[in-house]
């Protein structure tokens, strides 16, 4: 059965409109709960959320669904996505749920599901959940005496903070470092500043005043100019920008210049290789990562393996082939020695650990290679399939020929919104820009 609700990262959409309604959330809870209630023990599900207004609505519906099929619910409140994955394992739960639309504006929301080991569910499991949702709810309900209970876990924040700190060697401290942390008014607004402060840093927090509407608004990793400006203003040593659910991170160096996920992966890979910690002989990234990263790793005798966009595909390849560093240019960085999904705070702590051990400024530690010119543009469409248009396909084919072996072209539909992303890169910046513009014009004409 093909999936209808689940996309590349769970279910996502406009809050209070299909598929992001209370009714569908209730059915997801019932179906997922039933699928994972298959033993003789008392079954548990962990639920976390970010700070969107609609999170209350979705959480209540999920709690009702899970308890109705006999699952006990542990509610964490606002917590990063990686914290939900970690606590799913730590609390020996059968299932974990994160209510978030990640870097999207407040009016969107989403549901991400994790299995008992803290990994996102497979396409096949998500299809099974959808099949159960299509059945009558009467077949899923537990007997009255088996209805589940719900309770809040008050220690969740402290558990995650201690977990994040333990990813560093015991003696590592950040005393003397002035750090700006932008939490995007999202799920890490309490835990991230607290973890940095407990490690000795002078912390300047921004994006820590969520009101239900301001998540990711002019702040966080998707609006990094705020972070860069603050770093320059307070003369900080580093700026850390998280997104709404804190599974991605971007860094600003001491000069207020932005550093993306490719550079961060390069810095961590070089450090881990020098200490004999790197597994798999390289790094796993997506088709969007810069060709400069690939060339840099080759210079170290390492490989760059590319997967489709989406951290779940990166993690899947890492698990199958024994890699322990992977991620995306956007700042999803997966360090599988510690986490089962992208973890913005843990990745930032690793960078800070390298900075302190080398006693060099962030600009030196995190500028490992010269990125090739890369242009990315998004084309929004309302109907049809522009990528099936013969005129569009002809322009794409011609563009590939123009780039030849000196560049790359990636065109893909978004898995979470009606957008086609067009990316090209190569040594010739003018050619790259021309290629992208030609394809974008063709797509707009088709979608008009």
Report the percent of the chain where pLDDT is more than 90: 86
Catalytic residue selected from 68, 102, 347, 399: 102
In the chain, domain spans: 11-154, 159-257, 259-345, 374-447
pTM score = 0.91
Which CATH fold would you assign to the domain 159-257? Alpha-D-Glucose-1,6-Bisphosphate; Chain A, domain 3 (3.40.120)
199-232, pLDDT tens digit by residue?
999 999 999 999 999 999 999 999 999 999 999 9
- Two domains, one topology: 11-154 and 374-447: no
pLDDT band of 354, cuts 50, 70, 90: very high
361-409, pLDDT tens digit by residue?
999 999 999 999 999 999 998 777 888 889 999 999 999 999 888 789 9
Which tokens is 225 given?
A: 């100019």
The predicted model gives 126-137 an average pLDDT of 90
Measured between alpha carbons, how far is 263 from 366 in angstroms, rounded to an integer? Answer: 6
Annotated catalytic, 434?
no
> In the CATH scheme, what is the homologous superfamily, with its name and number, of domain 374-447?
Alpha-D-phosphohexomutase, C-terminal domain (3.30.310.50)
Architecture of domain 259-345: 3-Layer(aba) Sandwich (3.40)
For residue 37, what pLDDT is reported?
87
The predicted model gives 170-174 an average pLDDT of 94
Instruction: Check whether the bond before 19 is cis (ω within 30° of 0).
Output: yes
Which tokens is 245 given?
A: 């659910």
pLDDT band of 7, cuts 50, 70, 90: confident
When computed from its CA atoms, the radius of gyration of the chain, rounded to whole angstroms, is 22
Task: Tell how many helices (H) and how many strands (E) occur in the chain.
Answer: 14, 18
For residue 1, what pLDDT is reported?
53
Please name the residues in contact with 331: beta carbons below 8 A apart, sequence gap of 6 or more. 221, 241, 243, 248, 249, 250, 260, 261, 264, 342, 344, 347
431, 442, 428, 413: which is closest to 7 by C-alpha?
Answer: 413
Q: State the CATH class of domain 11-154.
A: alpha beta
Measured between alpha carbons, how far is 391 from 444 in angstroms, rounded to an integer? Answer: 11
DSSP 2-59: --SS-BTTBEEEETTSTTSSHHHHHHHHHHHHHHT--SSSPPEEEEEE-S-TTHHHHH
Does 347 have pLDDT greater than 60? yes
């Amino acid at each position: 059965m093909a999936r209808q609700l689940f996309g590349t990262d769970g279910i996502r959409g406009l809050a209070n409109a299909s598929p992001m309604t209370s009714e569908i959330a209730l059915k997801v809870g019932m179906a997922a709960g039933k699928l994972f209630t298959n033993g003789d023990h008392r079954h548990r599900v962990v639920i976390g959320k970010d700070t969107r207004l609609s999170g209350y609505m979705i959480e209540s519906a999920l709690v009702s669904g899970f308890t109705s099929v006999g699952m006990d619910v542990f509610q964490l409140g606002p917590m990063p996505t990686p914290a939900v994955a970690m606590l799913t394992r730590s609390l020996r739960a059968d299932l974990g749920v994160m209510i978030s639309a990640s870097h999207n504006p407040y009016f969107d929301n989403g549901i991400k599901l994790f299995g008992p080991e803290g990994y996102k569910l497979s396409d096949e499991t998500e299809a099974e959940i959808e099949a159960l949702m299509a059945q009558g709810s009467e077949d899923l309900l537990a007997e009255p005496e088996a209805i589940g209970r719900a309770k809040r876990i008050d220690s969740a924040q402290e558990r995650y903070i201690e977990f994040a700190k333990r990813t560093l060697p015991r003696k590592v401290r950040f005393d003397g470092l002035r750090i700006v942390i932008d939490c995007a008014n999202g799920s890490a607004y309490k835990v991230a500043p607290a973890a940095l402060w407990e490690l000795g840093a002078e912390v300047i927090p921004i994006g820590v005043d969520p009101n239900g509407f301001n998540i990711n608004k002019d702040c966080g990793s998707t609006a990094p100019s705020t972070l860069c400006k603050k770093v320059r203003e307070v003369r900080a040593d580093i700026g850390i920008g998280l997104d709404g659910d804190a599974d991605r991170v971007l860094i600003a160096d001491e000069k207020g210049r932005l550093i993306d996920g490719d550079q961060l992966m390069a810095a961590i890979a070089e450090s881990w290789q020098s200490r004999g910690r790197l597994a798999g002989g390289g790094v796993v990234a997506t088709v969007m990562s810069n060709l400069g990263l690939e060339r840099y790793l080759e210079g170290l005798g390492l490989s760059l393996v590319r997967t489709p966009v989406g951290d779940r595909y990166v993690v899947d390849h890492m698990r199958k082939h024994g890699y322990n560093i992977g991620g995306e240019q956007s700042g999803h960085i997966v360090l599988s020695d510690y986490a089962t999904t992208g973890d913005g705070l843990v990745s930032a702590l690793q960078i800070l650990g390298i900075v302190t051990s080398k006693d060099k400024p962030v600009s030196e530690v995190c500028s490992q290679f010269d990125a090739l010119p890369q242009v990315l543009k998004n084309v929004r469409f309302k109907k049809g399939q522009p990528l099936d248009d013969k005129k569009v396909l002809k322009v794409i084919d011609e563009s590939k020929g123009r780039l030849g072996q000196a560049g790359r072209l990636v065109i893909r539909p978004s898995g979470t919104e009606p957008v086609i992303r067009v990316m090209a890169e190569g040594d010739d910046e003018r050619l790259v820009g021309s290629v992208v513009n030609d394809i974008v014009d063709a797509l707009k004409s088709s979608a008009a």
